[in-house]
Structures are given as structure tokens and as C-alpha cells.
């Protein structure tokens, strides 16, 4: 399956396994298991959602939004738990107004999940780590 490296956005072909002991990016050599939320822009979003064979969970947020700030560390933490199961990304909707309008973001935080380039789920409002973990687990 094709997976985007969260560190360098390189495309990796990784066997689909239940658990992984070790998986490094072929391009930057960093561990794909040490996942983090990718900072997504209008230049990178299509590559990421079209290429990934695993679901892509994108958090649309803004610097002035209190609930978004609260959810930020939660999102990073849960991203690690889903390494090679789901890709996590975040869009600063203030800096990326084109993306906010393209995806018709009406309130933030809004999470949109993409699978094979298509939106499969959307939810608005902040979540804690348990809620976010359960939300993503349901989509795998
Ligand atoms: Zn890499």
C-alpha cells in the first residue's frame, strides 16, 4: 500500500501488516512509525489525498480558535497511535483560505476524512483523545 511519509512527503510502498516493528521512509530514512500531523497546503493536499491508500484525516483549524488550540496536542498524539493505519494532516484555514472555501469549511475545528481522494466523513467540533481515536478507528 502507498503511504505518504509525514516527515518529507515522500511516497512509500509498505506491506499491509497488523503491526510493524520497523518501517523507515525510503527517501528521508526517518521512521514512518514516528508519525505526526502533516502541515498541509494547497500545493500538497491533492498529492496526499490522492496517493494515500490509507485514510487521510485532516483537521481544519485556525490560530485564533480556542478549541482548535486545545485539540492540537490531542491530534498529534493520536496521529502517532495510527502510524501506517491513517495519515493525519492539518490545514491552517486562515493561511489556506482557498482550501477552506474549496472544502466549504463553515466552522472550525472541522475534521474531514478522505479515502482514495474522496471525502468519506466530516465532523465539526473539538474531540478528546478517546473520541478522536474511536472516530478514526471506525473508518479503518
Ligand atoms: Zn520521508
Closest CA to 9 of 27, 22, 33: 27
Beta strands in the chain (DSSP E): 2-4, 11-13, 38-39, 56-61, 87-92, 110-115, 118-124
Prediction pTM value: 0.96
53: Cα separation from own chain's centroid: 13
Looking at residue 40, what is its pLDDT?
98
Question: Which residue matches cell numbers 526517518?
Answer: 30
Closest CA to 20 of 37, 1, 7: 1
Q: pLDDT tens digit string along 37-93?
A: 999 999 999 999 999 999 999 999 999 999 999 999 999 999 999 999 999 999 999
Strands 38-39 and 56-61, bridge-based pairing: unpaired
Catalytic residues: 65, 68
Q: How far is the CA of 69 from the centre of ligand 1 (A)?
A: 27
Domains of the chain (ranges; CATH) run 35-137 (3.40.30.10)
Alpha helices in the chain (DSSP H): 45-51, 66-81, 97-102, 129-137
Mean pLDDT of 32-41: 97
> Where on the phi/psi map is residue 13: left (φ > 0), alpha (ψ -120 to 50), or beta?
beta
Q: How far is the CA of 2 from the centre of ligand 1 (A)?
A: 13
Looking at residue 84, what is its pLDDT?
97
Burial of 4 per CB tally in 10 Å (0-12, 13-18, 19+): buried
Q: How far is the CA of 26 from the centre of ligand 1 (A)?
A: 7
Amino acid at each position: 500500500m502507498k503511504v505518504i511519509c509525514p516527515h518529507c512527503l515522500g511516497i512509500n510502498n509498505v506491506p499491509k501488516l497488523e503491526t510493524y516493528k520497523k518501517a523507515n521512509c525510503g527517501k528521508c530514512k526517518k521512521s514512518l512509525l514516528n508519525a505526526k500531523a502533516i502541515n498541509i497546503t494547497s500545493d500538497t493536499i491533492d498529492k496526499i489525498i490522492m496517493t494515500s491508500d490509507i485514510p487521510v484525516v485532516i483537521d481544519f483549524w485556525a490560530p485564533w480558535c480556542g478549541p482548535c488550540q486545545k485539540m492540537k496536542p490531542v491530534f498529534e498524539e493520536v496521529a502517532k497511535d495510527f502510524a501506517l493505519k491513517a495519515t493525519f494532516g492539518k490545514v491552517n484555514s486562515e493561511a489556506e483560505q482557498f482550501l477552506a472555501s474549496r472544502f466549504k469549511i463553515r466552522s472550525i475545528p472541522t475534521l474531514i476524512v478522505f479515502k482514495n481522494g474522496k471525502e468519506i466523513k466530516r465532523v465539526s467540533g473539538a474531540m478528546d483523545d478517546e473520541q478522536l481515536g474511536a472516530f478514526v478507528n471506525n473508518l479503518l
